Amino acid sequence: MKSEAVIESFRPDAVSVLLLLGVGVLIALMLPLSKIAMSLGMTPLAYAFWQAFGGGLILFVCQGKGRAIGWRGSVARYFGFSALTAIALPNVLAFVVVAQIGSGLTATLYALPSLATYAIALTLRMETLSLGRAMGLLMGISGCVWILSPSPTGISGETAPWLMLGLLIPLSLAIGNIYRTTHWPRGATAEQLAPGMLLGGAILILVVILIRGEAATLLVGHPTLWGILIIQSMVTAVGYRGFFQLQKRSSPTFLSQLGFVITPAGLLFGILFFKESFGWTVWGGVALLMVGVVLANKPVKSRAITPCINGNRMAE
């Protein structure tokens, strides 16, 4: 049995906004950390594995005895698909792309899931069409396109293929945003689901590493690498714990706007860590993106979405 009713859309409160800002900054911080690690010889796959495994392990230990959720049936599917779309695929791609185009421009890719998430939500009747919200999201996306446009002050032709590959990141994230909301296991908490998704992602990445015969790349010998991995694990644990809390208390479209925080934060981290420089095209795009955020968050009506059990949404 499923029950759907048009209700007032999610309206961001102070906690949700703080979660959006905090989680966005933490995810953006992962990009320069990964670039430093790879400059010391670590492969993108190996880094993605340790990032997910370390963060998942910290959260699993911190949740305490008797709080873990079983990995059976629909829960196992939830962890598997969530891990693929939110951890394994986007993070591996991001760590590959960041080595080629820098952490600043890679961060701009995270602003793109918003429009895709909204389009999917409209198709599934999770949201009602709002001209204001659509215009806001389009302005945000336009800001990113402006940033990514080949020009003397934007990107070069050499980086374009890597950016095209990076477009798989927002597509994967958008699909994951919708799936995690519609299939949230009944009775599960954010504290229980975050470690499962991270550890599930680590398992998927480990399988790929073993199939490729690259198990030796998981060995960490450089002391600086150990320090980076420890910091990254803590950042991941805190970031994804907040990520699931934000997912539970907001809507897929609001969650997708994490990218609008990751983009400017990533650009600033690129300047801070690597002295990356950006021309007027980039900063003009950021300004347009920020205006889009304001428009996209005006209240509209949307449909109540409740956890999906065995393929059926349960009435709240």
Reported as a single tens digit per residue, the pLDDT across 77-105 is 898 999 999 888 988 888 888 878 777 67
Report pLDDT for 233: 96
Asked if residue 1 is part of any domain, the answer here is no
Percent of the chain with pLDDT over 90: 22
Q: Is residue 142 part of a domain?
A: yes
Do residues 133 and 299 make contact, with C-beta atoms less than 8 angstroms apart?
no
Lowest mean pLDDT among 20-29, 62-71, 117-126, 268-277: 62-71
The arithmetic mean of pLDDT across residues 285-300, rounded, is 70
pLDDT in tens, 27-56: 999 989 998 998 898 998 999 999 999 999
Give, in order, the Cα–Cα distances in Å from 103 to each of 95, 160, 197. Answer: 9, 15, 24
* CA atoms of 175 and 120, how far apart (whole Å): 8
Contact 241, 186 (CB under 8 A): no
Q: Is the pLDDT of residue 282 over 60?
A: yes
Q: How confident is residue 9, by pLDDT bands cut at 50, 70 and 90?
A: low
Distance between CA 180 and CA 77 in Å, rounded?
Answer: 11
Do residues 220 and 49 touch, judged by C-beta distance below 8 A?
Answer: no
Give the DSSP per-residue string, 137-189. Answer: HHHHHHHHHHHHSBSTTSB-TTTHHHHHHHTHHHHHHHHHHHHHHHTPPTT--
Mean pLDDT, range 246-274, rounded to an integer: 83
Q: Which domain holds residue 29?
A: 6-313
> Does residue 70 form part of some domain?
yes
Asked if the model's pLDDT at residue 199 lies above 90, the reply is yes
Query: In the chain, how many domains are there?
Result: 1
Do the domain assignments include residue 212? yes
- Whether 8 has a pLDDT exceeding 60, the answer reads no
Beta-carbon contacts of residue 305 (< 8 Å; ≥ 6 apart): 126, 181, 182, 251, 252, 313
The answer to whether residue 309 scores a pLDDT higher than 60 is no
* Adjacent-strand bridge partners of 54: none
Is residue 227 very low, low, confident or very high in pLDDT (cuts 50, 70, 90)?
A: very high
Least confident piece of the model among 126-130, 183-187, 214-218, 295-299: 295-299
User: For residue 140, is pLDDT > 60?
Assistant: yes
CA–CA separation, 52 and 69 (whole Å): 18
- What mean pLDDT comes out for the span 101-121? 75
